[in-house]
Amino acid sequence: MTRAAPWSRRLGIVTDEAPSTEQISNQLDGLAGAANRWAADPWFDPPTFLGVAGVKVFRDLVYENRGLMSADHRYYRAHGLYDWPQSRRTGKWWFMTLALLVKRIPFVRTRADTLLLRGKMRSFLLVLVGHSG
């Protein structure tokens, strides 16, 4: 017998389509046994959207503030509660190298600053220029 999810109340089906009353009695006995097993198990509410979302929001908060919440971060990391890869050393190395180049080389820094400023202003310019004509 396959076991349903813990919050499922489906215990079985009893019909009067069996040819003999003995088979119907066997079905009723099976249903009563399933009801006893279900009653003996602890009740679990199904996970709701708010519960799952709350766990994920708190997980993200722990990861973002892992310097302040170091004990929580260690627990989450040790128990595999982060469901994305955290240690991509090659990507981290490339990012740090690029950040160092942008900070240290003056003409790269000014170019990056203008591109970032232009990117930040793009949505405002679309609203101002796009709707005027």
Q: What is the CA radius of gyration of the chain?
A: 30
How does pLDDT run across 58-108, given as a tens digit for each residue? 999 988 888 888 899 899 989 988 887 766 666 667 777 877 877 788 888
Whether the CB-CB separation of 16 and 24 falls below 8 Å is answered with: yes
Annotated domain spans of the chain? 12-44, 49-78, 89-130
Give pTM, 2 decimals.
0.39
**Which among 20, 21, 29, 22 has a CA at the least distance from the CA of 11?**
29
